Structure 1
């Protein structure tokens, strides 16, 4: 009797990326202070770690339909030596996505709409391809509407 051929089912790439992003999310949550100190020293130097509070990562993407989206890391704190409440949003990204700049702006807008607080947007890239852009712009030939900037960390470029 002939042996049955062994079938191997490959996991779609998206599920790998989701697991990968989840690992980064857990690491950054656990070592939030150390993460900022190592990779975003200007942010680390200016925020109060005694007043940190994780916020709901759920935001409504479509108010009429009730659609929601979970952002990766959303922390509320204050600027050092002030009562100014701010939000730090960190978005780990394990694969290149052509509309990532727009997505970061969209997340920023949703967070701002929900909390009405200043936001520090940070993106953490862990894939090989180079991603030099870190802004989303909108405009017309006759009028510049906006330029949204976010800070980036390219882990593959680090030693």
Structure 2
């Protein structure tokens, strides 16, 4: 923005124009998401700028408003999905740590850190495997097998 000599107070206008133009291009959804993600990343608006953006959006014709809002809504939906995924992963980690503690007793922080690095699908595999664990060595073996395969 600085190299383009765009004033900070014009950020909301620039973002709106970028989205308006993007909406007119009729790109496939993958390209649309890539470009709109770029716009959103580099033109993050503060609360005041966001209010100005909404005011300026309302001055567009109804068809253009709908097209721009489809793009903005897709960002919000993606953010919600990512938030849900992160929440599920944190819940799974917490549950597995409690189950492991109950099944094999206390274990060191290094093993706990390794468990917290597992993906959701790895956590789902671990939740079944831990039923067969009898001590910490079973957990260590499982982690070695599943972390080395990535």
Q: TM-score range by the shorter chain?
A: under 0.3
Q: Which has the higher contact order (CA 8 A, sep 6+)?
A: 2
TM-score, reference length from structure 1: 0.26
The structure with the largest alpha-carbon Rg is: 2
